[in-house]
Structure 1
């Protein structure tokens, strides 16, 4: 009985990735090589509706349309690069899950580093300011400390 449960669990785990794909049976090409190319291309293209998954994984109508378009262009004899170029021309570099590094996408690639540098700058600034504020009260003369204590209402309490 335990062995049967383990086998069922193993089959579930092995078949789970197949259920995650959104490709419908009527979309699948009869030519296995073209279908493999279509799947590879679909995995590189961003769903413009979901934006965080490929068109191969998305169940959105636009993703289905794009999957069908990719397959039509493959059947028409277009190369993978021609299909990518066509979609980039239509939707921009954003359609690529891994956009190329170029002048128009430098901020997209550089933003994480800019945020890290800005965060480090804020931390350093705050640390220096904290040290400066504690150092400024430590360097008081006795008369200045007495005046500060009287202003704060600490007459002789310190």
Structure 2
């Protein structure tokens, strides 16, 4: 009886995993738009968006199902007449700032831009101070 219950619970837990593999891909995940100009806009946008699952590939280059869904969204929205900027904003609102290879300065991303500048300023200040101390000590020794 316990074995049957354990097998039942394992089967129940495995159902979501099995469901992911049986879903057909979205229509525009792996096919291009008929209009070459619209497809060029979609492709340019897709190269600037990061795959959430792969994290090191754009959605244009990734084979992950999530990237296919995102490609479908981009192409569908381009066909609906949305601009690439509107689509980018929608994807950022849905998936977060990380989805974009070109992050914008916002309340959550400003440290990414400010911290490197602060580090450079601190290093420059330390170097200038040390160089100033060396010059002062070498001038005092040569007199």
TM-score by length of 1: 0.55
Q: Identify the match of residue 49 of structure 1 among 46, 53, 62.
A: 53
Q: Would you say 1:85 and 2:93 are equivalent positions? A: no
> Could you tell me how far apart the structure 2 residues matched to 1:93 and 1:73 are?
19
Task: Report the more deviating stretch, 115-124 or 34-43.
Answer: 115-124
**CA offsets, 1:94-113, max 9 Å, x none?**
21111112333110112323
Task: Note the C-alpha offset of 1:123.
Answer: 7.2
Distance change >3 Å, CA 90–CA 106, structure 1 → 2: same
The alignment yields a C-alpha RMSD, in angstroms, of: 3.2
Aligned residues: 115
Matches within 5 A, 1:46-125: 46-117=50-121
Deviation at 1:30, TM superposition (A): 1.3
Mapped pair 1:29 → 2:33: yes
Q: TM-score, normalised by structure 2?
A: 0.60
Larger radius of gyration: 1
* Distance across 2 between alignment mates of 1:44 and 1:68: 15
**Ranges in structure 1 where 5+ consecutive residues have no aligned partner:** 1-23, 128-158
Bigger fraction of residues in helix: 1
Q: What is the DSSP-based 3-state SS (H/G/I as helix, E as strand, rest coil) of the residue aligned with 1:44?
A: coil
Give the distance between the partners of 1:88 and 1:26, measured in 2 at CA.
Answer: 22
Q: CA deviation at 1:124?
A: 8.1
Q: Using CA pairs under 8 Å that are at least 6 residues apart, name the structure with larger relative contact order, 1 or 2.
A: 2
Query: Which has the larger displacement, 28-37 or 77-86?
Result: 77-86
